Amino acid sequence: MALKRTPLYQWHVDHGAHMVEFAGFEMPLYYNSIKEEHLNVREGAGLFDISHMGELLIYGPEAFDFLQYATTNDVGRLKRGQAQYTLLLNEAGGIIDDAILYKLDDDRFMLVVNAANTEKDFNWLNHLAKGFNVDIEDVSDQMALIAIQGPRAQAILSKLSETDLFQIPYYHFVVGAISGFPNVIISNTGYTGSGGFELYMAPGYAKYIWEELLHEGKDEGLVPVGLGARDTLRLEMGYRLYGNDMDESTSPLEAGLNWVVHYDKDFVGREALLKQKEEGFTRRLRGFVVEDRLIPRKGYEIVDREGTPVGTVTSGGFGYSINKVIGMGYIDRAALKNKSDLFLKARNRTAQIKLSKLPFYKDSPFVKNK
Amino acid sequence: MNIPDDLLYTQDHEWIRVESQGDKQVGVVGITDYAQSQLGDIVFVDVNTVGETLSQQEIFGTIEAVKTVADLFMPVSGKVVEFNEQLRDKPELINQDPYGEGWIIKVELTNPEELNSLLSAEQYKQLIGEEG
């Protein structure tokens, strides 16, 4: 199958991006340096093309009831103009996807899903929708998505926006014009922990808005940022990545995502989760710091002092803002309970790891308990 | 892609520059511009073989980049006499200057004839042309 391209593909290539395959798309991994792009987002601002993300429109008289059933978070808490992080589960309580749900209107929602899962989610939701008066439309190809993130993001975006961005709280959005282009969803959300906005727009606007933002942000240090730094930034925040830190074999209880599960409603996977709560579960996603010059990679084993396997790495990398080697992985709760010494087993080497509370990056404006 | 004419190359993307020091032949070894661009941001360079005598194609160290980890192979047999200590704190020198400040080890050659088995700049260009 041919790889898909975003409307900004040619721009990335023309500007020297190192392109890689990701979720069926040709995407920029970095332009110049992952480290510099990472630090630029933390200290100034960065611009991301994340148009590969999937967007599903869900609308109709029973859209609300349907979404209460199909997703784990409480859709009843969403006001128009608000968004929430949520999960899709299967009947066994395994995570089909994590997503952001936008309430566009009382009977109209947008679910933003992982690119690799768009088709799977669309089919799954259609399967669940039998018996509901609801329509589901995959509009991924009709939408580009640009994120501007970092402490300077709001000031830069303000120059191109008629909307007062201070009026948009975290996890809220408005539909407005950017640089004169109408109907852009301006959403105060992101995947970096450094604040900023995500902009959903018609694909035809993407290149113009992208270039206008870079132009306006030049003096503020705005640079394009690839998926490499997007990964190190999200890892420092302990944000889970679907396909690495969770999948259909892991439950929200194991993945530490129980906070987005609202049990006071009927939803797919509820019975399985209640059962798992009652009977207990054996492993838990935890963050850790490696006390050696060894980068944890997905699939590396975590062992105890005797060398017995007690876990598996799901994500890892260097945290440029905290200057530490960090990772996440599933670890047996028995080993956690016993406070066993834990070690990372990689290739022909072993290094001790220390469990760490998430997020690793405590200077984020979103960290309350520093 | 920068591929200097005065170096010799391996299939594994190391380069070597050989100088005569008295009756000894000493080679400076690093990885190519192509290799560093494929690896992306380098986070650590680990070389624990200083003082050891290794054969051609033996592993003398490891490079950890953001996205991947790669072994470093001896271009020729010899004794590892020096590691570029600057790389401990500044591994990015390999990204910035792979043939200069980003050199990795110095090797005292034990079998200089092996140099004949290495690739010229022209041959290396063809190799990465095929890979690219």
Q: Which tokens go with B34?
A: 């192509």
pTM of the model: 0.92
Task: Check CB contact of A347 with chain B, cutoff 8 Å.
Answer: yes
Burial degree of B5 (CB within 10 A; 0-12, 13-18, 19+):
exposed
Q: Rounded to a whole number, what is the distance in Å from the CA of B66 to chain A's nearest CA? A: 6
Report pLDDT digits (tens) over A191-215. 999 999 999 999 999 999 999 999 9
Q: What are phi and psi of A17, to 5 degrees?
A: -65, 145
- If you classify domain B8-124 with CATH, what class do you get? mainly beta
Q: Quick check: A370 pLDDT over 60? A: no
Give start and end residues of each alpha helix (H) in B1-132: 33-39, 86-89, 93-96, 121-131
From the list A276, A288, A294, the residue with the least C-alpha distance to A314 is A288
* Chain B residues lying within 8 Å of A317, measured CB to CB: 66
* Chain A residues lying within 8 Å of B64, measured CB to CB: 293-295
Report pLDDT digits (tens) over A258-316. 999 999 999 999 999 999 999 999 999 999 999 998 999 999 999 999 999 999 999 99
Task: Answer whether A297 sits within 8 Å of B69, measured CB to CB.
Answer: yes
Using alpha carbons, list the distances in angstroms from residue A308 to A286, A316, A327, A335, A351. 18, 21, 19, 10, 14
Q: What is the pLDDT of residue A31?
A: 96
If one counts every other C-beta atom within 10 angstroms of the C-beta of residue B55, the result is: 12
Residue contacts between A and B (CB atoms, under 8 Å): 35
d(CA A161, CA A182): 10
Q: Rounded to a whole number, what is the distance in Å from the CA of A30 to chain B's nearest CA? A: 8
pLDDT band at A338 (very low <50, low <70, confident <90, very high): confident
Spans of all domains in chain B: 8-124
Task: Answer whether B40 sits within 8 Å of A34, measured CB to CB.
Answer: yes
A23: amino acid identity, one letter: A
* CA angle in degrees (0–180, nearest 5) for A234-A117-A253: 60
Report pLDDT digits (tens) over A10-40. 999 999 999 999 999 999 999 999 999 999 9
Q: What is the pLDDT of residue B132?
A: 40
Which residues 283-342 in chain A show a CB within 8 A of chain B? 293-295, 297, 317-318, 325
Task: Answer whether B66 sits within 8 Å of A294, measured CB to CB.
Answer: no
Q: Which tokens go with B22?
A: 């008295």
Q: B98 with B32: CB under 8 angstroms?
A: yes
Task: Check CB contact of A18 with chain B, cutoff 8 Å.
Answer: yes
pLDDT band at A3 (very low <50, low <70, confident <90, very high): very high
Task: Answer whether A33 sits within 8 Å of B69, measured CB to CB.
Answer: no
From the list A186, A43, A32, the residue with the least C-alpha distance to B40 is A32
* Cα of B10 vs its chain's centroid, Å: 9
Spans of all domains in chain A: 9-51+143-236, 54-141, 282-370
* CATH architecture of the domain formed by A282-370: Beta Barrel (2.40)
pLDDT band at A1 (very low <50, low <70, confident <90, very high): low
Which residues 230-269 in chain A show a CB within 8 A of chain B? 232
Report pLDDT digits (tens) over A124-179. 999 999 999 999 999 999 999 999 999 999 999 999 999 999 999 999 999 999 99
ipTM reported for the complex, 2 dp: 0.76
Task: Answer whether A318 sits within 8 Å of B43, measured CB to CB.
Answer: yes
Q: What are phi and psi of A199, to 5 degrees?
A: -120, 115
Burial degree of A85 (CB within 10 A; 0-12, 13-18, 19+):
middle
Q: What is the mean pLDDT of residues A234-262?
A: 98
Secondary structure (3-state) at A63? helix
For the CA atoms of A355, A360, A366, A369, the dihedral, rounded to the nearest 10 degrees, stands at 50
* CATH architecture of the domain formed by A54-141: 2-Layer Sandwich (3.30)
Using alpha carbons, list the distances in angstroms from residue A252 to A102, A258, A341. 21, 5, 26
If one counts every other C-beta atom within 10 angstroms of the C-beta of residue B117, the result is: 12
User: Any idea which fold A9-51+143-236 has?
Assistant: Gyrase A; domain 2 (3.30.1360)
Cis peptide before A359 (omega within 30 of 0): yes
Sheet holding B8-9, edge to edge: B8-9, B14-21, B24-31, B105-109, B78-83, B53-54
Task: Answer whether A293 sits within 8 Å of B66, measured CB to CB.
Answer: no
d(CA A318, CA B91): 13
Task: Answer whether A34 sits within 8 Å of B37, measured CB to CB.
Answer: no
Q: A299 with A312: CB under 8 angstroms?
A: yes
